[in-house]
Structure 1
Amino acid sequence: MSVAEPDLVLTTCTPRPGVAVVDVRGHLDHHTAPRLRRRGFELIDQGHRHVVLNLAGLGFSDSTGLAVLVALHHRTRAHRGTVAVAAPPERLRRMLRVTGLSLVVAEHHDVDHALAAIEPDDTLSPGARHDA
C-alpha cells in the first residue's frame, strides 16, 4: 500500500493592478513544479509584472522549486517586474541563501511585507509611466 504525497494547491489573488499573489500549499517537487511555473507565466503574461509567492503553506520543496523561482525571475525581469517569496519554510530559506538565489528573489516575512516592498508606480505597465 502506497501513501500518496500531498498535491500542490495554488490560489491566486490580485491585490492591486500589476501584482499577483499566489498562495502555494502542499508539496513542490518535479511532479507539481510545472503547474506553478505555468501559473506564474500566465499571470505575468496577463500583465501582472510583480508576483509574490506566499509559501506559508508549503510543506516541502526540492530543487525543482528553485528552478521555478529562477524561471519566474527571468520572466518577470523581461517584463520589468519582480518575483518575491513570503514566509518561506526554513529549509527553502536555506536553499535560497546557499544557491545565491536570495540575491535576486526577495524574501519577506509575510505577504503584507512583500506587497509593501513593491512601489505603487512599479505596478504600471512600462509604457504607462508618467514622470512629473
Structure 2
Amino acid sequence: MDHNNVRVRLVSRRLPGHTVIAVRGDLDIATTATVRDRILTLLEDTTTPLVIDLSGVSFCDASGLAMLVGTKRRAGSQGLTVSLVAPCPTVRKLLRITGLDRAFAIHPTLASAQVGRAQPDHISAA
C-alpha cells in the first residue's frame, strides 16, 4: 500500500448550467493549498455557477473554511456563485458555528443545488 497517497481528491465535471467539484478526504492545513489551486484553475475556465460537493469530506479545519471563503470571494469577483452540497454533520456544525451557513447556499443534494428555484438547506441551530 502506498502511504504517500494524497489525502484529498477532487473530481470536477461540467453539467448544464453548473460546474461541480466533488471533494473527497480531509480539508485541512495539509490539503487546502492543493484544493485551492485546483479550484482556482477551474474558475479561470468557467462561466457557470460553482457547486462544491462536500459529501466526501470527513474533516474540515480553519484552513478548509478559509479556502471555501476564498473560493466564494474569487468566484464572486467573476460574477459567479458558489453553493455547497451535502456536508457531513460535523462539517455542517462547523459551518453553523462559524456563521458560514449564512454566507453560502447549502443544499442537501446535488440535484437540489442544480435546480435554480430550490431553496437552500440552510443549517438551523440545534
Change (3 A) 1:118 1:65: farther
Runs ≥4 in structure 1, deviation > 6 angstroms? 3-6
Deviations 1:42-88 (A, max 9, x none): 11111244111111111211111100111011011101111111000
Determine the C-alpha separation between the residues in 2 that align with 1:118 and 1:10.
27
Identify the range of structure 1 (7-16 vs 90-99) with the bigger mean alpha-carbon deviation: 90-99
Give yes or no for contact 1:40–1:72 (8 Å, CA) kept in 2.
yes
Number of matched residues? 116
CA displacement at 1:34 relative to structure 2: 1.0
Higher relative contact order (CA closer than 8 Å, sequence separation 6+): 1
Match of 1:116 in 2: 115
Q: What does 1:21-60 align with in structure 2 at a 5 Å threshold?
A: 21-60=20-59
Q: Scaled by the length of structure 1, what TM-score is found?
A: 0.79
Q: CA deviation at 1:91?
A: 1.3
Q: What is the TM-score normalised by the length of structure 2?
A: 0.82
- Name the counterpart of 1:88: 87
Query: Could you tell me whether the CA contact under 8 Å between 1:49 and 1:80 is conserved in 2?
Result: no
Q: Which runs of 5+ in 1 are unaligned?
A: 120-132
1:6 deviation in Å? 6.6
